[in-house]
Structure 1
Amino acid sequence: MPPMHELTIEGLGPCEVEEGTRLVRAIEDCGAAVGHRCGGQSQCTTCRVEFAAGEPPVMTEAEYDKLTDIGRLGEMRLACQIVVDRDMTLTPLMTVEDQGWDDAGPEPALMVEPDAEWFSIETLEQR
């Protein structure tokens, strides 16, 4: 069995998550209805999260490009592009409840898509 990590979501408290779980799915499994209007494709940015602790030091090219495009790089992360590999404490920034949606969006795939290769932020900034 893979190692477990503690995911703490503001307002919900801690939840045990299996290592390798896609963060957007882990947040939902722990009881928060975080958005994923594009189905976890790094297109809509509704899976926005803000880390208090445990933010990964790497990101996919798709996440970097999208956050740069909307001028929010360094302010938030996209849960659809992150895999749980450590204890994390975060706040989902767009949920079904606070946005007034009927649902969070199409179910994200088990694996990160479109680009499942992670780079240091410095490497992405230098390309």
Structure 2
Amino acid sequence: MPTLTVPGFPALHAHDGERLVLALERGGTGVLHRCGGVARCTTCRVTFTEGEPQAMTQAEHDKLAEKELLGQARLSCQILCDHDMTLTPLQTESGTGLEAGKAPAEQIEPEPVWTAG
């Protein structure tokens, strides 16, 4: 069971293979996700202190490149929890005053095509 370390929160335990956005939501971080977890809006972005995954979906790569965020942030909706990570959500419901969009699906959407990042 991967451990997620998020500043200001007790250690969160993700289910192996769980989407990071869902683990963060379940842990009460208030991570924002306006598009429902389909790599369209970048509101679920996070930065890593430790444990940043090497693999990236093509959808995440394309969206981060479009927004000029490659190398600066990652999309939690496109990351699977399979190891310990230390990270910070960059946008939260409380910090922005916005509400999250529809609940992300259990599996990564769109169907992931993996790249080396």
Q: What TM-score comes out, normalization by structure 2 length? A: 0.96
Answering whether residue 102 of structure 2 is matched by residue 106 of structure 1, we say yes
Unaligned segments of structure 1, at least 5 residues: 122-127
Match of 1:115 in 2: 111
The alignment of Structure 1 onto Structure 2 pairs a total of residues equal to: 117
What letter matches 2:73 in structure 1?
A: M
Runs of 4+ in structure 1 deviating by more than 4 angstroms, as ranges, are: none
Give the partner amino acid of 1:108: P
Q: Distance in 2 between matches of 1:34 and 1:114?
A: 20
2:76 equivalent in structure 1:
79
Partners of 1:64 and 1:42 in 2: CA distance: 9
Q: In angstroms, what is the RMSD of aligned CA positions?
A: 0.8
Corresponding position of 1:5? 2
- Partners in 2 of 1:57 and 1:35 — Cα distance? 23
Q: Distance in 2 between matches of 1:78 and 1:15?
A: 18
Once the two structures are TM-superposed, the CA of residue 115 in structure 1 deviates from its matched residue by 3.0
- In the alignment, which residue of structure 1 is the partner of 2:14? 17
Counterpart in the other structure of 2:59: 62
Contiguous gaps of at least 5 residues in structure 2: none
| Per-residue deviation, 1:75 | 0.2
Checking the alignment, whether the CA contact within 8 Å between 1:61 and 1:115 is kept in structure 2 is no
Separation in 2 of the partners of 1:85 and 1:46? 22
Rg larger in structure? 1
Give distance in 1, aligned partners of 2:71 and 2:39.
16
Alpha-carbon distance in 1 for matches of 2:10, 2:47: 15
Structure 1 length-normalised TM: 0.89
**1:34 — aligned with what?**
31
Please state if 1:44 is matched with 2:71: no
Hey, what's the Cα distance between the residues in 2 that align with 1:105 and 1:33?
Answer: 12
Cα deviation for residue 34 of structure 1 reads: 0.6
Q: What displacement does 1:53 show?
A: 0.6
State how far apart, in whole Å, the 2-side matches of 1:70 and 1:117 are: 20
Aligned partners of 2:59 and 2:31: how far apart in 1? 19
